[in-house]
Amino acid sequence: MAGVAITGQDSLRDGQGRTFADVSNDPEQPFEAGIDFSNDEHRQRRMQEHHSRRPTMQHLEVSDTQGVTLVRLLDRQLIDGVGVEDLGQELYRLITSEDQSKLVLDFSLVDFFTSAALGKLLALRRKVAAKNGMMKLCCMRPHIHEVFAITKLDGLFDIEDNATEALATFG
């Protein structure tokens, strides 16, 4: 069965397809019509569905498994300042707006990244730790894992071979 996509514009309409502006700008509508619009149960349900959705992510694929948020990094190269900054913002938004404290970051698609990306991971680790959370990394290609080893960050981050092992560590 196909899902129904609810956009922000849809959530602003009542059961008859009217927006608040339609109701409030209609001189033939009494004041109570505006109150009725706000109390329309169909509109309230659509608003709740719209606001409960996870924010759109360009650089991440996010799923929940066994109470742990599994995050696949979608960019093959984390090199330019804007891309790394956007990735950092998406990760930070994920742990703050979603109140996630158990994270697994899947590096299976990542071929190359810069020290700026490492900096974002370190900052994310601090934010997760501040929430008494845990973060695991997994699915690193050998040359990516080597960067963590050379920089001694493999001792700071818990790195697992695959997502199954990483998820299992949360028990």
* Residue spans per domain, the chain: 8-52, 60-168
State percent of the chain over pLDDT 90.
35
pLDDT digits 0-9 by tens, 23-42:
667 777 676 665 665 666 76
- Is a pLDDT exceeding 60 seen at residue 104? yes
Class of domain 60-168: alpha beta
Containing 4, the helix (H) or strand (E) segment is none
Q: In this predicted structure, what is the pLDDT of residue 71?
A: 92
**Per the confidence metrics, is the pTM higher than 0.75?**
no
- The average pLDDT across 41-70 equals 69
Residue 16, classified by CB atoms within 10 Å of its CB into exposed (0-12), middle (13-18) or buried (19+), is exposed
Tens digits of per-residue pLDDT, 67-100? 899 999 888 876 666 678 888 888 888 888 766 7
- For residue 62, the cross-strand partners are 71
CA nearest to 91, candidates 125, 140, 141, 137: 125
| Spatial contact of 84 and 117, defined as CB atoms under 8 Å apart | yes
pLDDT of residue 149 exceeding 70, the answer is: yes
Alpha helices in the chain (DSSP H): 8-11, 20-24, 31-39, 41-52, 81-97, 115-130, 142-150, 163-168
> Rounded to whole angstroms, how far apart are CA atoms 149 and 130?
25
Sign of CA dihedral 117, 122, 125, 131: negative
Structure-token pair, residue 53: 């959705």
Per-residue H/E/C for 63-112: EEECCEEEEEECCCEECCHHHHHHHHHHHHHHHHHCCCCEEEEECCCCCE
Instruction: Please give the residue that has the higher pLDDT: either 17 or 27.
Output: 27
